Structure 1
Amino acid sequence: MKFDSREWLELVEKDFESAWLRSGDILTERSLNERYPLYQYDYGQEHPVFKTIQELRKAYLSLGFKEVINPIIVEDIHVKKQFGKEALAVLDRCFYLATLPKPNVGISAEKVRDIEKILGRKLEKDEIEELRMVFHSYKKGKIDGDDLSFEIAKALKIDDAKAVKIIELFPEFKELKPIPTSLTLRSHMTTGWFITLSNVADKMPLPIKLFSIDRCFRREQGESAVRLYSYFSASCVLVDEDVSVEDGKAIATALLRHFGFEKFKFRLDEKRSKYYIPGTQTEVFAFHPKLVGSNTKYKDGWVEIATFGIYSPTALCHYGIDYPVLNLGLGVERLAMILYGYTDVRKMVYMQDVVLSDLDIAKAIRIKEVPQTSVGFKVANAVIRTAEKHANEKSPCEFLAFEGELYGKDFRVYVFEVEENTKLCGPAYANEIVVYKNSVYGIPRNEKFKEYFENGIPTGIRYIDSFAYYIGKKVEEMVARGEGGVLRVRVVESPSDVNVTIQENVIRYIASKGGKIDIRGPMFVNVKVEL
């Protein structure tokens, strides 16, 4: 909600009661917040991946696991140790890191003349030597690349812009090409577990229970609906004198029950990674009722969520780990897609598909114009009360709604209807704006629309409410000009007819989802202002 403290202080000086006013085109006075509690609070929204991570952290911690951070950047020798003959196939999926070499920059007499043209003066011998020392320090790694222009500027007592032009004189910088290293981005959390356990497995009391939820990187052929270059792995290890497949089943069951899963299946994984003991690599399937009948390959309700196995003693011995180690891991994104109903991981992770709840849409609905004085609010509330009390009075009729003084002028406000054989207010005057299934409706609270109010999001804004606040604002303006007049609304055909606005972005969202905005109806309310 917008709030300008300077405007608020000015209002306090003018009228103490108006201190409750807020600036902007939103609901403003304290009584409005009481009438429309929807606008009192505005909470942020978690990303489904990080919300799932947080729940996984809670689950692991509740099971007695200690959280750790495993190395992300690792030498490729670790992949070779862990995967043996399969290492080359695994490394083919890894991202290797490369670095830019430090060029050996020489300053020839020609380059000195070019620099002098940029500076507009001759270079002194000591300045040339200072410049050589800067380039030498850069070559030796004593100066970082992002500090090079600053150091040149300091050595020659010039501004950074000229220093950058000097750097552009040397083709050595433009022709730099990355040189690959033996460092890789971790493609499996297992790579990090072997390194971590090599440091702690012989020092911590058994059983050792550790977990880590962090990024892994895999060089896929391309990103797709089910694969990304970077993903989160939620992985744990259990180190003890004796571990078994049954321990893996118990951990998987306890972990996934935290997310409401109750039925599980376990079967041997046909992939058989070399770092697991043969016959221990197991896939974990869980039943989720939301998947039953879905347009996915999991329409029977069963989905693979996790994998576990016991590390091979051959791989463990390379790291001096003497105890058996059970490892379980799952992809966070896959679990989040199941929990939140996504079928394309790109749309979930990168927010390519905006999903608004009915509450999100309701928050974008505002009363457009509101009074700026406490008297204006009193007028609005008086019009509302008069309409509620006399709505069904037969016409012609007229009722005094408010009598008072503003800006030193006395005035009266009437609600009236001159046409015969009708009523003071049309049948839609009390229609309320409610959001239901990505659509916005202006409807009466009756049995016909009970479902809309019970399962949708009522805004609490009735046609008469928003129109009355418009009346309050216009009365202020009319009294200030010293003139009376008539204000009316007949047949409502759009939100603006009853002083309601909906954010343009949300209107486009509603249209994109096939929803509609149906704020219509015969309101027929007339208001007269007399000075």
Structure 2
Amino acid sequence: MKTNKLLKLARKDFEKAWVETAQTLKKPHTDNEYPRIQMRTGQSHMLYNTIWELRQAYLNLGFNETINPVFVEQDDIYRQFGPEAPAVLDRCFYLAGLPRPDIGIGMDKIAVIEEIGVEINDDKIQALKEVFRGYKKGDESGDDLVHHVSVALDVQDSVGLRILENVFPELRELKPVSSRTTLRSHMTSGWFLTLQSLHNQSKLPLKLFSIDRCFRREQREDMSHLMTYHSASCVWADDEISLDMGMAVSENLLQHFGFKKFKFIPDEKKSKYYIPGTQTEVYGYHPKLNEWVEVATFGLYSPIALSHYGIDKQVMNLGVGAERIAMILHNQTDVREMVYPQTYAKWHLTDRELASMLHINYYPFSTDGRELMDILKQKFLEYSEKESPCEFTVFEGEFLGRNIRVKILEPESNTRLLGPAAWNSIYIKDGNIVGLPENNAKDELSLETVQNGIPLGITYMDGVIAKACYMIEEMIVGGETESEFRTTLAKSLSDVNLKLEEVALNYITSNNKLIDIRGPIFSTVTFEVID
């Protein structure tokens, strides 16, 4: 079913449209049925490669991995940030939920249910009331509401869905109500909650790290800001901690990624959850970039913030942006393109990827057919420069259980057996697919393509011969006794029996790339059954 038709039906009757989507399932090719499905190694994301490396670096430094709370109460933000809390909360996402309303069942609603075709009695009304009462109290899951309404009324789920849609509009009109719970905007918010639980239960020093998402309500997402990012953060708690500990951890952590030199600069932001004068920016020099880049921030947690959680230890905290490290290591300039290449990055296929999507289309399935391909290619190469008219018997013998004779010929005068483009080879260069003579490039661009492009190892005649042998197989199996195969001018991939996958074709057309497969081939193959 076409997308537009499906959406139109869904707006009219969602349940019917949903049921009909089952008709879109097709029986897979036998090679794609379980357990014959072949699984191949997939491609990892550069951000998660970086996160994995950060985990290894922290583990190598003796830190234990933990998972910090994601949900942080508004009151905790005030405990941690003090007077800064309102400004911090402006950058936080608050959790909201839909209230569960009191749903009445009056005579007007009963009448609409009956109009839908459902017989109503007192037992069904009572059962429906029990469902809505359980839903209001939270005993019934919203996910199961349709099914429970259907059971109460003794109808199919499709009818239960229609009833909820048409009889109880108050469900559709619900508006979310905010709570006082926020999504973690800084890993620090999670660390205070974790340290509150562990600081008196673990042998000192307590060394923990966590690499996880944070959520920040940015005014907009741009080249350097996302609304969700990964903080690679650690804490070191002990009876006494010096700021030098932050420098040492920073240096050892970042050396794992090839940074050689470091600068530590006081951070002008001066967050109130750090002791004054301890918040420090870390700059690392990376030899590949040949420049200094900001890579981390560390500081000592304020005793005031720690005291709100009953923590009487000193705590050093270091935070590294995983996206920031990944951008440096992979020479990325836009965090949106790096994290969400499917949405923001310009679509790019390498020449090798394109080469993997270009194939000979019709190809002989039998050993006899493939051996005939080799014979035809050898004979075409041998006689290609013979002047016409000319005719050569290139095979006579058994083929798929029949005796056949195969000839190659050119009936017209004053030419040759093959046209001048017959042995052009296929190359891919900078996203362009072109056919060129391998040893006779006539201009600088053609020479550059032959020398530096990706050769497919396929000539025009390779495709033509493969199709001719495939057709001979088809005709013998079909009971035919003779035929002729003629190829004249090549103008497109199909003229030389090549097929480009749709993804590659979309890429080439959307990026104004070129498919140039042209030239005179003028090859003729005949076959006849002689037994």
TM-score, normalization: structure 2? 0.80
Q: 1:478 to 1:99 in 2, by over 3 A?
A: closer
Which of the numbers 403, 412, 420 marks the counterpart of 2:405?
412
Which of the numbers 492, 495, 499 marks the counterpart of 2:493?
495
For 1:438, the equivalent position in structure 2 comes to: 431
Superposed counterparts of 1:126-525, under 5 Å: 126-167=123-164, 168-170=166-168, 172-287=170-285, 301-350=291-340, 351-352=342-343, 353=345, 354-388=347-381, 390=382, 394-395=386-387, 400-416=393-409, 428-443=421-436, 457-479=454-476, 480-521=478-519, 523=521, 525=523
Q: CA deviation at 1:114?
A: 4.6
For 2:48, the equivalent position in structure 1 comes to: 50
- Counterpart-to-counterpart distance in 2, 1:274 and 1:7: 59
Q: 1:229 to 1:113 in 2, by over 3 A?
A: same
Deviations 1:98-133 (A, max 9, x none): 122222233345544554444554522x44333332
Deviations 1:190-244 (A, max 9, x none): 1112212222233333343322222111111122333222222222223344444
List gaps (5 residues or longer) in structure 1.
9-21, 23-39, 293-300
- Counterpart-to-counterpart distance in 2, 1:515 and 1:360: 15
What SS does the corresponding residue of 1:70 show, helix, strand or coil? coil
CA contact (8 A) 1:119 1:162 kept: no
Deviations 1:420-450 (A, max 9, x none): 8977656655544333333334345569889
Farther off after superposition, 195-204 or 490-499: 490-499
Counterpart residue identity of residue 51, structure 2: I
What SS does the corresponding residue of 2:221 show, helix, strand or coil? coil
Identity of aligned residues (%): 48
Counterpart residue identity of residue 339, structure 2: V
- Counterpart-to-counterpart distance in 1, 2:498 and 2:132: 65
- Counterpart-to-counterpart distance in 2, 1:194 and 1:520: 70
Question: What is the aligned residue count?
Answer: 490
Q: 1:316 to 1:231 in 2, by over 3 A?
A: same
- Counterpart-to-counterpart distance in 1, 2:393 and 2:130: 90
CA contact (8 A) 2:368 2:400 kept: no
Counterpart residue identity of residue 101, structure 1: P
- Counterpart-to-counterpart distance in 2, 1:63 and 1:428: 65
Deviations 1:236-286 (A, max 9, x none): 223344444444344334434444444544322221222222333222334
Q: CA deviation at 1:464?
A: 3.2
- Counterpart-to-counterpart distance in 1, 2:112 and 2:262: 74
Deviations 1:443-502 (A, max 9, x none): 455698897678654433333333321121122234445344443445544322321122
Higher relative contact order (CA 8 A, sep 6+): 1
Counterpart residue identity of residue 468, structure 2: I
- Counterpart-to-counterpart distance in 2, 1:265 and 1:422: 77
Q: CA deviation at 1:503?
A: 2.2
Deviations 1:131-186 (A, max 9, x none): 33222222221112222332233223233344345444345434433222111111
Q: 1:101 to 1:5 in 2, by over 3 A?
A: closer
Q: CA deviation at 1:530?
A: 4.0
What SS does the corresponding residue of 1:227 show, helix, strand or coil? coil
- Counterpart-to-counterpart distance in 2, 1:230 and 1:529: 67
Which of the numbers 96, 99, 103 marks the counterpart of 2:101?
103
Deviations 1:387-408 (A, max 9, x none): 45x2675545665543332354
- Counterpart-to-counterpart distance in 2, 1:401 and 1:250: 79
- Counterpart-to-counterpart distance in 1, 2:431 and 2:284: 32
Counterpart residue identity of residue 374, structure 1: T
For 2:3, the equivalent position in structure 1 comes to: none
List gaps (5 residues or longer) in structure 2.
1-26
Q: CA deviation at 1:86?
A: 0.4
Q: 1:79 to 1:372 in 2, by over 3 A?
A: same
- Counterpart-to-counterpart distance in 2, 1:429 and 1:180: 72
CA contact (8 A) 1:394 1:421 kept: no
Counterpart residue identity of residue 325, structure 2: L
Superposed counterparts of 1:6-85, under 5 Å: 43-85=41-83
- Counterpart-to-counterpart distance in 2, 1:400 and 1:263: 76
Counterpart residue identity of residue 403, structure 1: E
- Counterpart-to-counterpart distance in 1, 2:396 and 2:517: 32
Deviations 1:32-70 (A, max 9, x none): xxxxxxxx9964322333333233333333433332221
Farther off after superposition, 405-414 or 90-99: 405-414
Q: 1:381 to 1:230 in 2, by over 3 A?
A: same
Q: CA deviation at 1:72?
A: 1.0
- Counterpart-to-counterpart distance in 2, 1:7 and 1:106: 52
- Counterpart-to-counterpart distance in 1, 2:57 and 2:520: 56
CA contact (8 A) 1:484 1:530 kept: yes
Counterpart residue identity of residue 318, structure 2: L
Counterpart residue identity of residue 323, structure 1: K
What SS does the corresponding residue of 1:239 show, helix, strand or coil? strand
Farther off after superposition, 235-244 or 86-95: 235-244
Q: 1:175 to 1:476 in 2, by over 3 A?
A: closer
Q: CA deviation at 1:378?
A: 1.7
CA contact (8 A) 2:299 2:318 kept: yes
- Counterpart-to-counterpart distance in 2, 1:279 and 1:316: 17
Counterpart residue identity of residue 47, structure 1: H
Counterpart residue identity of residue 184, structure 1: T
Superposed CA RMSD in Å reads: 3.6
What SS does the corresponding residue of 2:86 show, helix, strand or coil? helix
What SS does the corresponding residue of 2:167 show, helix, strand or coil? coil
TM-score, normalization: structure 1? 0.80
